[in-house]
Amino acid sequence: MFANPQMEQMLRDELRSLQLQRLKKTVAWAYEKSGIYRRKFDAAGVKPEDIRSLDDIEKLPFTTEREVEEHSAHEFLTLPFSAISRVSLWEHPRHLIRMYTARDIACNVEMMTRALAAADISRASVVGILGDLADSGLMDTQYALEVLGTTVVPLGTEYERAIKLLDATYLGIIVGSARRVLRLIIQAQAMGREMKEFNLATILCFNENLQNPLKMHMRNRTGTQVYNFFASSSFGTSGMFYQCPEHAGHHLQEDYYYAEIAAFGQDVVVNDPNCMGELVLTSLTAEALPLIRYRTGQTVMRIDEPCPCGRSFSRFMTPFGAFN
């Protein structure tokens, strides 16, 4: 199912044109509003007007994980604090403060709506949200489920309570981090229950890495279909990478992010097909905290073949395969 087929099935040439338009705007915005990026661009001898094609992104310096950790969110912030609509603490795999404008939140909700629809969530679904709704990613999920018209059951973080709600509802889908889902499975076992007893059909997992080594274990223990999302604390969003029903890699929301693959340990972009490298991402619409050429530390390979699901967004996989 598609939430936004006009965008998710956009022709590649049109998509690249949109990416270039948004990249130019993001680079100009960051240079004008962010002291950190102005200094980085000046040190590299590059100006916003130097970005005339998508290939010109390679003129820009990389942003590293260390830079994001060593500088506060306020140092990257491009707007006065009065323009911020939400502040959130992302705790895994490290503690980071992320900030959002109203438009940033709307973009995150749109991405999550697409990701949920790709897992066949609709008005007929009953979905349990496992976790604390102070989590910005789960808040976006709540809003996205409301957009889809889905029945929502907040399960919270008390696992015995969550088990009682599973018993009392017709809940067929759980959304939560891989860690929390695993703890729910353990709690059910401690109560003498098996997750297969419940009416669950699907589990949607937010992961701190593109690969979820527990996917097979979860599927076997719950008897469900498992979809994985890549939840990036650095970007402060949960829906940037998602799986379609084909489960052959992760689709990247390319109207919101531009991806490159860098050679390991080098500042060189790998363009050869089917080559592994480090995933580098640039936010194309973020207003409050744009990240440009951020080295994620994720090892990936781009899949250039069209996906049978009909989405034109590129897919990425890790060395562990296509997550079947």
- Residue-wise pLDDT for 170-212, tens only, equals 899 999 998 999 999 999 999 999 999 998 999 999 988 877 7
The amino acid that residue 63 corresponds to is T
Give me the pLDDT at residue 208, please. 81
CATH number of the domain bearing residue 22: 3.40.50.12780
Q: Is the pLDDT of residue 321 over 60?
A: no
CB-based contacts of 253: which residues, under 8 Å, 6+ apart? 111, 114, 239, 240, 241, 242, 313
Give me the pLDDT at residue 115, please. 97
Average pLDDT over residues 88-117: 92
Q: Is the pLDDT of residue 159 over 80?
A: yes
**What does DSSP assign to residue 267?**
S
Q: What percent of the chain has pLDDT over 70?
A: 98
For the chain, what is the domain count? 1
For the stretch 206-236, pLDDT in tens is 988 877 778 888 899 999 999 999 878 899 9
Where does the pLDDT of residue 93 fall: very low under 50, low under 70, confident under 90, or very high at 90 and above? low
Residue 67 resides in a domain: yes
Residue 234 resides in a domain: yes
Residue 322 resides in a domain: no
Average pLDDT over residues 139-166: 95
Residue 303 resides in a domain: yes
Residue 324 resides in a domain: no
Residue 192 resides in a domain: yes
Question: Which residue pairs, CB below 8 angstroms and at least 24 apart, start in 38-44?
Answer: none
- Per the CB < 8 A criterion, the answer to whether 3 and 306 are in contact is no
Q: State which residues form the domain around 257.
A: 5-317
304 or 323, greater pLDDT: 304
| Joined tokens for residue 167 | 């018993």
d(Cα 133, Cα 210) in Å, to the nearest integer? 23
Residue 323 resides in a domain: no
Give me the pLDDT at residue 217, please. 86
Give me the pLDDT at residue 95, please. 83
pTM for the model stands at 0.94
Residue 266 resides in a domain: yes
Where does the pLDDT of residue 67 fall: very low under 50, low under 70, confident under 90, or very high at 90 and above? very high
Specify the 3-state DSSP secondary structure of 110.
Answer: helix
